[in-house]
Structure 1
Amino acid sequence: MNDLPPEGAQSDEDIARAHVTTPALHNATIRLDDPDPAWPARYARTAAAIRAALGDTVLLLEHVGSTSVPGLPAKPILDLLLIVADPADEAAYVPPLESIGYVLTIREPDWFEHRVLKLHEGEMPVNLHVLPDDCPETRRMLGFRDWLREHDDDRDLYARTKRDLARRTWKYVQNYADAKSEVVEAIIARAGL
């Protein structure tokens, strides 16, 4: 039986509406890998390919998500944050990324024009989150990552939460992500973000 998403989480309809492609049903537990010291090097190679494809379109490119925090277990997926002038101008960045294997998967115009492109080829799958310059979510994402890198107690709390939730069965991976929200928001509040 699937665990229900927490109150305030995205509904099935919200998930479907945000997806450019059909959202993949998960209906399973979440695989978390132990921390891997190779993740930063994989990020560096992935980032180099993105920068080569996009050139000056890249305003900022950062390694985010759990693979960016030493000592934190993570889904075996690299999360990257790409800042461009205008995510709604997909013609400026989507075709060059498609040429290196990325697929536009999520479009959320009502949430900072957020886009997600996914790469399933290569060393490790990638979720490339695209946001505009001067977006408040950028400060939160980078601040959360940096706080976990420097505060072992909150990193360990987050790791325990992830492991506990990962053992449950989730209809969509997004449901698992939403279930972490309460702990994430508490850590963000402590970090003053």
Structure 2
Amino acid sequence: MSSIVIVRPDETWPAQYEKTAETVHGILGSTAVRVDHIGSTSVPGLPAKDILDIQATVATEPDLDEAAQLLVAADWELRPPRRDHPVPGLPGDEGQWVKRIVVEPMYRRRVNLHIRVDGRANQRYALLFRDYLRAHPDTAAAYGEFKRRAASLPFDGVGDYADLKDPVCDLIYLPAEEWATRTGWSA
């Protein structure tokens, strides 16, 4: 059994992201269309695992492997999965959910770097989810409470924790889509 540790929000997470994003930009160069802070550490006041989630967006699917290889050459480690879970109501096409994930070099600040293709459903999901929680602090607080309670359950690994969180994130994401339409949100 592994334990998931959810920590109190850290006001330095944005600065830690900025420093890591500079490194990622330096490695990926023009292969990355953009690099964004995503996940719970990107939402002010939201408890999280003390691991920065960052999304590097690339222009095309072949660029996924190019970006991953550039990072591997810089001592980052390529990890599974090679796709995100499909979200009910969004395109079911496998290509919409493809990604690569790499983690930081040993002894560096913990990072999950998600590499996704520009304009794909999973790339948009990460940005809209973040922005919706930033604009809806009560929803973020409820999500934080869910994460704390979920982390107290026994898990065989982080993958089991993520599998439990996925449908809850989808429940937040679906109204986020309506909010995006109403407000004219764009990534």
Same fold per superposition (TM over 0.5) = yes
Alignment identity in percent?
35
The CA deviation at 1:183 is: 2.2
Residue number in structure 1 paired with 2:113? 128
Query: Does the 8 A contact of 1:120 with 1:126 survive in 2?
Result: no
Counterpart CA distance in 2 for 1:91 and 1:177 is 24
* In 1: Cα distance, 2:177 partner to 2:53 partner: 23
- Structure 2 residue matching 1:47: 3-state secondary structure: helix
CA RMSD in angstroms comes to 1.8
Q: Which moved more, 1:123-132 or 1:156-165?
A: 123-132
TM-score when normalising by structure 1: 0.79
d(CA) in 2 for partners of 1:115 and 1:95? 10
- Cα distance between partner residues in 1 of 2:157 and 2:23: 29
Measured against aligned partners, the alpha-carbon deviations of 1:5-50 in whole angstroms (never above 9, x if no partner) come to xxxxxxxxxxxxxxxxxxxxxx222111110011111110111011
Residue of 80, 87, 90 corresponding to 2:54: 80
How high is the TM-score relative to the length of structure 2? 0.82
Partner of 2:24, secondary structure, is helix
- 5+ residue gaps, structure 1, are 1-26
Q: Return the structure number with greater helix share.
A: 2
DSSP 3-state at the match of 1:45: helix
Aligned mates of 2:123, 2:68 — CA distance in 1: 20
3-state SS of the aligned residue for 1:59?
A: strand
Give how far 1:95 is off. 3.2
Separation (CA, whole Å) in 1 of partners of 2:170 and 2:157? 21
Aligned length: 167
Flag the structure with more relative contact order, 1 or 2, with Cα contacts below 8 A and sequence separation at least 6.
1
In 2: Cα distance, 1:28 partner to 1:60 partner: 34
Q: Is the 8 A contact 2:9 2:41 kept in 1?
A: yes
Contact 2:54 2:112 in 1 (8 A): yes
Structure 2 equivalent of residue 33 of structure 1: 7
